[in-house]
Amino acid sequence: MEKAEVSLKAVVTGLMQALREAKLLGDMESARLIKTYRKSMPSFSVPAFAISEVEVELRFAVAESQELRRRGGAQPGDIKIKISPETLKGLEPHQISQLRIKFSPVELRVFEKPEEG
């Protein structure tokens, strides 16, 4: 059974973790394919799996009011939301919020300090 309420922070973090794991699995598959390609197709290059950009649209209803938060019902910075289709089905359109998140990979540069000798 699905929880009625979930943390918005947990949902966004889960999306980021899922994307990171998907990229890792793609890299692992490329590494596995290197052996196959070297044996049977040495002139072909190994396919690389890339996630260039992912856009997610999340529709949700805020489960807690500011009044409840002031009385200590939630941790600061943690918003409880309802995201199940069953929960959203009976709500009026003005009660449903929408968040669009775009994940774009950024190439990280590693700068090493030269060794002093």
Give tens-digit pLDDT for 12-40.
999 999 998 988 898 888 888 888 888 88
Confidence of residue 68 (pLDDT cuts 50, 70, 90): low
Q: Report pLDDT digits (tens) over 83-93.
A: 999 989 989 99
> What is the mean pLDDT of the segment spanning 67-80?
63
Give start and end residues of each alpha helix (H) in the chain.
8-40, 66-70, 85-89
Integer CA distances (angstroms), 56 to 73, 102, 107, in order: 29, 6, 21
CA distance 80 to 61: 9
- Arithmetic mean of pLDDT over the chain: 82
pLDDT for residue 97 is more than 90: yes
pLDDT of 21 reads 92
pLDDT of 35 reads 82
Q: Which of 54, 59, 50 is nearest to 102 (CA)?
A: 54
CA distance 88 to 70: 25
CB contact burial 23-43 (16+ within 10 A = b; e otherwise): eeeeeeeeeebeeeeeeeeee
The whole-model pTM stands at 0.68
Q: Report pLDDT digits (tens) over 43-59.
A: 888 777 777 889 999 99
CA distance 72 to 62: 16
